[in-house]
Amino acid sequence: MQTLFIGPVRAALAALLALFDLTPFVFLLPVPPTDSWTIAALIFICVVAGYWAWLSVKSATPKQRAVLPLLAVVAVLNVLTKLGMTHLPSTLLDRVPIGFIASLFGLDGEYAYDAAIYEVWCQLWLCLALFTCAIGWTVRRTVRAKT
């Protein structure tokens, strides 16, 4: 039986998903946008994407095919986080505790505002990730109980 994704296609898909997964976390960081920071961030993202591509090819055995589903779930979480930040009522988003990053790094002004947005992004992403893990765990336990 032929596999659905051959090696290069799996690697390209994993690299694209890793790029999509990591880019918001790197480029939303509240740091001054300089050329050296942008180049370093792009190099970091490309190295990580290359690692995930390599890992997807190396884990091509049937028992270890969790790389692509994991990257796909993180991509869905990124999309849901963006939707949540734009469509959740502001009364809910105003209740989110923020200010940790700005006070930790002594940021003020525009960078403190960017840090607050980054904190809301990370907190909403973590809440959605925990919710997704809880659903996955429940489904897995249910399937195992039925078999």
How do the domains of the chain map onto residue ranges? 7-146
Which tokens go with 125? 């992403």
Closest by CA to 18, choosing from 40, 49, 44, 42, is 49
Which tokens go with 35? 């050329």
Query: pLDDT at position 112, please?
Result: 83
10-43 as b/e: b if 16+ CB within 10 A: bbebbbebbbbbbebebeeebbeeeeeeeeebee
What DSSP designation does 66 have? T
Query: pLDDT at position 108, please?
Result: 80
Query: pLDDT at position 45, please?
Result: 93
Cβ atoms of 123 and 88 closer than 8 Å: no
Dist. CA 101–CA 89, nearest whole Å: 23
Residue by residue, pLDDT tens for the chain (147 residues) are 455 557 788 889 889 999 999 998 888 888 877 888 889 999 999 999 999 888 888 876 665 677 888 889 999 999 998 888 888 887 776 777 777 888 887 878 888 888 888 888 888 899 999 999 999 899 989 988 887
Query: pLDDT at position 106, please?
Result: 80
The gap from C-alpha 61 to its chain's centroid, in whole angstroms, comes to 25
Query: pLDDT at position 3, please?
Result: 59
